[in-house]
Amino acid sequence: MIERMRRRGELVMLLLAGAVVAGAYVVATLGRTASVPADIGPFLVLVLVLFAGAHIAIRKLAPGADGTLLPLAVLLNGVGYVFIARLREDLAAKQAGWIFLGLVAFVVTLAVVRRPRDLERYRYIALFVGVGLVMVPLVPVLGQTINGARIWIRLGPAQFQPGEFAKLFLALFFAAYLVEKRELLALASWPRRRPILPDPKHLGPVLVAWGIAVVVITAERDLGTALLFFALFIVLLWVATGRAGYLLVGAGSFALAAFASWTLFSHVQDRVTNWINPWADPLGGGYQIIQGWYALADGGVAGQGLGLGLSGAPPGCDPAQGACDGRLPEAQNDFIFAVIGEELGLIGSAAVIAAFVLLVGTGLRIAASQEGAFEKLLATGLTTLLGVQTLIILGGVTRLLPLTGVALPFVSYGGTSVVANYVLLALLVRLSDDAHQRRQRKARRVGALAGAG
Amino acid sequence: MDRQIKKLGIALVVCFGLLFAQVNYIQFFGAERLNERPDNTREQTREFARPRGQILAADGSVLAFSVEERSQFRYRRIYPEGALFGPVTGYYSAILGATGVERSYGNELSGTTPELRFGNLSDLFVDRENVGNVHLTLRRDVQQIATELLGDREGSVVALDPRTGAVDAMVSFPSYDPNPLSSNDTEATDIKTVLDADPENPLLFRAYQDIFFPGSTFKVVTASTAVEAGIVTQDSPDYPVQSGFDVDFTDQDLRNFGGSSCGGTLFEILRESCNWSFAQMGVDLGPERMIAGAEAYGFNAEPPVDLPAPATSQFPTEFPDDEGNGPLARASIGQGDVSASPLQMALVTAGIVNGGSVPTPHVMDRVTDEEGEVVSTFAPSEWTRATSAETADVIRRGMVEVAQPGGTAEGLQIPGLEVGGKTGTAQLGTDPPRSHAWILGFAGPPGQPPEVAVAVIVEGQDGASEQTGGRVAAPIARAVMEAVLAARGGQ
């Protein structure tokens, strides 16, 4: 009964999300070329088929899962696709391919991971895979430096950002390891005279894993991801043990690490300088931040209209007849939120923020509904990844935080990010369904007992 | 653990709340401030992506229109008349900005004035392009004649209606073709670089953006000031015949042209353009009255013409006692530190023949919307009150005398019309002798207020005789006046 309601609700919301995306796509194309392109039909069919496929997979594989996760992801992903297609027509087909792969990965994850608890066993494999993925870009030949960050690998024609997957494996490892040690870690025994923290030896493996990840990522100049891993680690440690001391120590060590990297690395200093006053170097380091602000301000409340903003190629521009560059370099990546705010206004940017708040809220609700400690921590970890990554990049774009480039989950252009986030979503869906099935079984048992009595 | 998860949820919601507050600040509360920052060029860029209305001549000739092109900027301007109206229309380029009418009537052309935007109520709800068409007072045929007669001599022609200040023709040589400058790519910058490097400075519209020694044409201002002050009438004084004016502290007298001797009453000295008499007249008036007289005609003030960056014509504002009477004597005959734009001298003429009232010069006649409905018209007004109607009439009759056979401006004569004028030859140097050839003129049916006033300057002519202005500039002025009056008659 509940299952059917959830799936029906999911289908209705999916149809709404699909309609929004399809409408936005048509409007964006109209804004650019003033005519509906001939290939609009196949695109819509493809999108609807893909999303319908994911919906059917949930019906078959996780019928009791929460019904809001997939529609929210589809909405964000679809809107992101519309903007990527509007900003860089040449990347639209690629991104469509990645969405297809992401949904395949979503279905495969649901099909393979039938019981979340089974994942707990693979904690050390997860550790090695996670750390390995983080380090792969440092391998010569394989590793690629793009825009100053060495976080890419090239395999044949395709490029991957292995760090996007590493975060899933590290979340898995942290959750499994902390469940095992959480009682020891909750016990304060150090320093001896006035104990506020547990014996450091219990923290060893986590510290090592986390340390390697952070150091390596810092070496790869991927500050955003380093911050993300740091937050993941501290949050899980705190949730697992309930000791607020970890938050304090975490904040203290973060402050130290931040100060150390600020003194050591010039690119960190640049980021901070451009954050404090981007107008000090308006055409250099501050350019992207300033143009992001101008784009948002230009959007105002109602926006300039889809396809009519100045961040991307201007409407009606034909690259064959001259330069068609927009104001915002690489807008389809880190700064896609600024373009959404420019063309859809405060209404659009608030809607994107609201979608992420709902996603995070649903994720944490799923975490709270879990019975097992491992599942609780895993759901918390996955949700934290999603929420904190969103906050890091949106905070950077709006200048709440220094800008550190990470992808906006589901929205930004980027294959690895899309696929990894759909796997993350599948795990949350699986966890949600698992908790539901357990409650159903328990209810049936109680009912059977009551009937027998 | 559930307690921590709940707290985590609260913490994340607070963070998203901060983010939402920041987005509200950027997109709503601080948006206007950000949009108006000087380094934020989005508003200009958007303006360049809109279509623009046409600029039309008084005879209906299209001077500027927009064509769509599939580039970064959706439209580019085409100027069918090229250099003929180039400095008037100006150019309109996303890279170089806008000049001329494109600049001074930019809001009308892009439809962003309130009248065009909210012309009728339904426009509030329909997003229609309400561009305005700007109709100029200039006529293509008059412009053409002035351009042809000026030829490839550096100089300017300004013709206007003395009753309204409506400009009929405004021409300078060298001119420029605004078409390549309005290209939206680097071609525009290249052309601009070349034009900027040109020593003749074709981008400067000298008809109203540059100033020159007015020479003897300035004598009408001196005469008007003296008549207004009551020290000179048509009959007195009778200046004795002399060869020069005795300048303090120097042996070098201020001499008449060609060293000739001259004198007489007002009309006689105007006819002969007698240097020493006008120098004496200015010195008799004294600095205060001469300064006030020149400023009453618009000197030392920027003319309120509806075109960008007009030059301010200059008359000295102090004459130190220790320099003697020389500076004031020279200024009174349009030399020394006096300089005037051709537009200013046309306005001096207009003031004299318009009963002493100098009209506000303007090139815009009316703005129409897409349906051809008139949205606004230029309301003629007085710029400055130069002198009384009685004084103006004396000077006007004096100038009619100058254009009679035997006068220096006799070349202006048009049969059947009442014509007046004043020549000028502003010496630039003596080795070799070179001068600006000037002429002021007006014409109209006899017994009626003149319908056209004109100022012509041909720069840097060889020779320095008083005849130079009449010989070189008068034919241009006469043909232009004939063309304007023919057009007026045809209206």
The beta-carbon neighbor of A394 closest among B19, B74, B185 is B19
Disruptive mutation site among B6, B8, B67, B93 for chain A (greatest number of A CBs within 10 Å): B8
Residue A216's pLDDT band, with cuts at 50, 70 and 90, is low
Helix (H) or strand (E) holding A143: strand A143-146
Residue A219 token pair: 């070496």
From chain A, the residues in CB contact with B42 under 8 A are 294, 298, 310, 327
Query: Are A310 and B42 an interchain contact pair (Cβ–Cβ within 8 Å)?
Result: yes
Rounded to whole angstroms, how far apart are CA atoms A20 and A392?
27
- Contact yes or no for B34 and A297 at CB 8 A: yes
Structure tokens at B448: 């009626």
ipTM computed for the complex: 0.93
- Percent pLDDT > 70 in chain B is 95
Q: Which residues of B touch A297 (CB under 8 A)?
A: 26-27, 30-31, 34-35, 40
Q: Is the pLDDT of residue A27 over 90?
A: no
B263 neighbors B241 (Cβ within 8 angstroms): yes
Q: Is the pLDDT of residue A315 over 70?
A: no
Which pLDDT belongs to residue A96? 86
CB contact under 8 A, B1 and A376: yes
Q: What residues in A contact B18, CB-CB < 8 Å?
A: 400
Contacts of B27 in chain A (CB under 8 A): 296-297, 299-301, 341, 345-346, 349
Q: Report B:182-201 residues touching A (Cβ under 8 A).
A: 184-185
Q: In angstroms, rounded to a whole number, what is the distance separating the alpha carbons of residues B346 and B440?
A: 7
pLDDT tens for A99-155 read 999 999 999 999 999 999 999 999 889 988 988 888 888 877 777 777 667 777 777
User: What's the average model confidence in pLDDT over B6-22?
Assistant: 95
Across chain A, what does the average pLDDT equal?
85
The residues near A449 (Cβ < 8 Å, ≥ 6 apart) are none
Q: Return the active site residues of B.
A: 216
Q: Does the structure show a pLDDT above 70 at A31?
A: no
Q: What is the pLDDT of residue A363?
A: 96
Q: B26–A297: do the CB atoms touch at under 8 Å? A: yes
> Quick one: pLDDT at residue A33?
63
pLDDT tier at B72, thresholds 50, 70, 90: low
pLDDT cut 70: percent of chain A above it:
89
Give the pLDDT confidence of B220-230 residue by residue, as tens digits. 999 999 999 99
* Of B434, B435, B426, residue with least CA distance to B215: B426
> Any chain A CB within 8 A of the CB of B28?
yes
Among A33-37, A297-301, A415-419, B169-173, the range scoring the smallest mean pLDDT is A33-37
Residue range A412-432: mean pLDDT, rounded: 94
**Residue in B1, B28, B71 nearest the CB of A240:** B1
pLDDT in tens, A233-280: 889 989 988 888 778 877 888 788 778 878 888 878 888 888 999 888
Read off the pLDDT of residues B94-139 as tens digits, 9 standing for 90 and up.
778 889 999 999 889 988 777 776 555 444 444 456 789 999 999 9
What is the least distance, in Å, from the CA of B86 to any CA of chain A?
A: 26
Which A positions 286-315 lie with beta carbon below 8 A of chain B?
Answer: 290, 293-294, 296-301, 310, 313-315
Q: Is B6 an interface residue toward A (CB < 8 Å)? A: yes
- pLDDT above 90 covers what percent of chain B? 66
